Chain A
Amino acid sequence: MKNLVAYITTGFPSLEFTVDAAHTLHEAGVDSLELGVPFSDPVADGPIIEHANLLSLQNGFKIDQLFSISKQIAPVIDTLWMGYFNSFYHKGFDTFVAEAKRSGLSGFIIPDLPYEEAVPYQKQMRNAGMTLIDFIAPTDTPERIAMIAKNAKKFIYLVAYAGITGSGKAESLDDIISGIRTHTDTPIYVGFGVDENTAKDKVKGVDGVIVGSALVKVLLDTHLSHKEKLNKIGSLAREIKEKINE
């Protein structure tokens, strides 16, 4: 069975929606949830997720709200926080680790904290029984892939192309995937540009996919009601889960 990880931006359109969405996505067969921590300057993200981040902040999102709703969400579905390093650093990485542990999270995904800078935090996460997810990009050299893959746990976030989230580009990842496999048995999940149309193709040779912008696009659709949005992300997730397991 290949796995599906879903990303949604916390607090958008509302905190209630985020909690409801966790239930819906779980019921639709999503294996893990990336709970996005809104940040003012999300440089790894394309316009869709960036916009959701800014709208959530305009709605008055605070980090304390992430902590409180995570306690409701983590018992429902395997949950990780996805955010930019400054959010973690400024509140205190220790605080984040303690809160995550209290809520029962399984890890963090921090796209602007590459391997070298992550070393001390990686250790701290492991000691707390959680994982700081490692990224591998198509631009990485074989030496770099070896260094990162050897220590990676839970799953490796393989970036599908050189770019930002939510664009439609494609690159051949075959060599990278076989390169990673020589160093580790840790599952490989592909993220960036995965939607209902591309999922089947993107999952080839890997163990799962990560879907973000395709879901957030639904959240941004002002013509849909709370319930319609839930139904739509539920059916999208179900469709993608089926396609990656065909």
Chain B
Amino acid sequence: MTKKPNDIYIPKPSPHDPDELGHFGIFGGRYVPETLMTALEQLNKDYQSVRFDPRFWKEVDYYYKNYVGRPSPLYFAQNISKELGAKVYLKREDLNHTGAHKINHTIAQALLAKRLGKKKIIAETGAGQHGVATATVAALFNLECEIFMGEKDVARQELNVFRMKLLGAKVHPVTSGSRTLKDAMNDAIRHWVTHARDTYYIIGTVAGPHPYPMMIRDIQSIIGWEAKAQILEVEQRLPDKVIACIGGGSNAIGIFNHFLEDKEVECIGIEAGGLGIDTDKHGASLEKGSPGVLHGQMSYLLQDEDGQILEAHSISAGLDYPGIGPEHAYLKEQGIAKYDNITDAEALDAFVWLSQSEGIIPAFESSHAVAYLKKIDKSSIKGKLIIVNISGRGDKDMMQAKDILKDQFKD
């Protein structure tokens, strides 16, 4: 239904590229123990050398087309469009191999790790999607793989833990702190500090010390690069709005990046509103947090008056993180992108709505982006052209959904 771009995706310099030390305005940077500085400088040098190199991206492209199934379709959602009186297209990252956009950057980073001569890769994971995508490329490229996952998440996401093990990865349950994603990342950093000489750390989002936020943004920007070509092909014009959910922010920056230069396109990132942003149970770092340093970067954080990091909450494990990628913090402060939030209840409602209207079951994360279509004033989207990024599929959420929605779907 939409034309598939045949060219090879190669990142291009962005007007919002960070400075040499990785700063997006005051955000970003490298706030890590000295032991990691040499590894980060080396990674930056190596990434810069392949950043615009067609040979590197040709290799990435081979796996995107033949292994991941790219380009992902841009699907005209006919039924919800009719209901809303708008033209809504869905960017189908949920159709990628392993079920989400995470595979985009794990493929490219694993190829980079191989180039650097690293034999081992590590990753942190919350719900397990990034862990599965990392374990997948480890199997594909014959790399040793260790995944750090909070003990609480290991219990909640049994199936993904098994998936990672089946793929040959070792899963470390993390028992420190709140035993969730934030602590998994702490322990992954601790492991990396000890093993930086032979280990590549595949960070799961556009966060962490420079060059990760820029590098992962470059890689994920294939989403928006494809979507732009696809929408121009079918509609002969740019969209009015592009909507994506945000935890760390990789799928959002991925679809926004190529539209940020187009003033007429409004990019909207949706944070996890949890039980409501006026409670203490949400993941809305941009809306309710303040600038601070965690996991190697300066960005917005949920923290108390002493700067102690607070636990986030969201129905979706992928948005359950007290920080956010530094480029989003910058885009918000500069007013270049817009941000809003969606509660657990609104996301669940949209999860059912999209499933029953279009036959597409979105991940809980992506359900937040879908829900925004119902949150915004109907008259403001009348006749508008909108792209929503469906960053992942809902299969991983079935156990949780079955439990929460049992009354709604009893015989």
Contact = CB atoms under 8 A, between A and B. Distances in A.
Interface of A: 39-41, 43-44, 46-47, 50, 54, 57, 62-63, 84-87, 89-91, 111-117, 135-141, 144, 159, 162-164, 167, 169
Which 10 pairs between the two chains have the least Cβ-Cβ distance? Answer: A90-B307, A135-B34, A137-B35, A163-B194, A137-B34, A40-B308, A86-B293, A44-B33, A40-B309, A86-B307
Interface stretch (B185-193, B216-224, B401-409): B185-193
Given A114-B32, A137-B35, A40 B177 contact: yes
Contacts of A117: 21, 29-31
Contacts of A163: 35, 193-194
B48 interface: no
Interface string B70-100: 0000000000000000000000000000000
A112 B293 contact: yes
Interface in B281-306: 290-296, 298, 301, 303, 306
Contact of B193 (A62, A89, A164): A164
B194 A162 contact: yes
A130 B295 CA distance: 27
Contacts of B182: 41
Given A43-B190, A144-B38, A50 B176 contact: yes
B196 A162 contact: yes
A13 B41 CA distance: 40
A41 B290 contact: no
Contacts of A139: 35-39, 196-197
7 contacts: A54-B176, A85-B293, A89-B292, A114-B31, A135-B34, A139-B39, A163-B35
A135 B30 contact: no
Nearest to B189: A43
A164 B176 CA distance: 15
A9 B41 CA distance: 32
A137 B39 CA distance: 12
A43 B177 CA distance: 11
A144 B40 CA distance: 13
B37 A114 contact: yes
A41 B30 contact: no
Contacts of B36: 139
B307 A91 contact: yes
A162 B189 contact: no
B31 A137 contact: no
B306 A63 contact: yes
B177 A112 contact: no
Nearest to B296: A112
B32 A112 contact: yes
A139 B194 CA distance: 10
Given A162-B193, A162-B196, A137 B37 contact: yes
Contacts of A112: 31-33, 293, 296
Interface residues of B, number: 39
Indicate the member of B177, B197, B294, B308 with the most A CB atoms within 10 Å.
Answer: B308
Contacts of A50: 176
Contacts of B35: 137-139, 159, 162-163
Interface string B300-330: 0101001111000000000000000000000
Indicate the member of B31, B182, B303 with the most A CB atoms within 10 Å.
Answer: B31
Contacts of A136: 34
Contact of A140 (B38, B291, B295, B298): B38
Nearest to A135: B34
Nearest to B307: A90
Nearest to B190: A164
Given A43-B186, A113-B31, A117-B31, A57 B293 contact: no
B37 A86 contact: no
Contact of B306 (A90, A111, A141, A162): A90
Contacts of B38: 137, 139-141, 144
Contacts of B292: 86, 89-90
Contacts of B34: 111, 114-115, 135-137, 140, 159
B294 A86 contact: yes
B196 to A, nearest CB: 6
A137 B307 CA distance: 27
A116 B308 contact: no
Given A41-B182, A90-B290, A162-B194, 5 more contacts: A43-B190, A89-B291, A91-B306, A117-B31, A137-B34
Indicate the member of B33, B176, B197, B295 with the most A CB atoms within 10 Å.
Answer: B33
Nearest to B310: A40
B290 to A, nearest CB: 7
Contact of B176 (A47, A63, A140, A167): A47
A135 B30 CA distance: 15
Contact of B33 (A40, A62, A137, A167): A137
A37 B293 CA distance: 15
A228 to B, nearest CB: 27
Contacts of B197: 139, 162
Contacts of A159: 33-35
Contacts of A164: 190, 193-194
B307 A89 contact: yes
B194 A41 contact: no
A132 B230 CA distance: 53
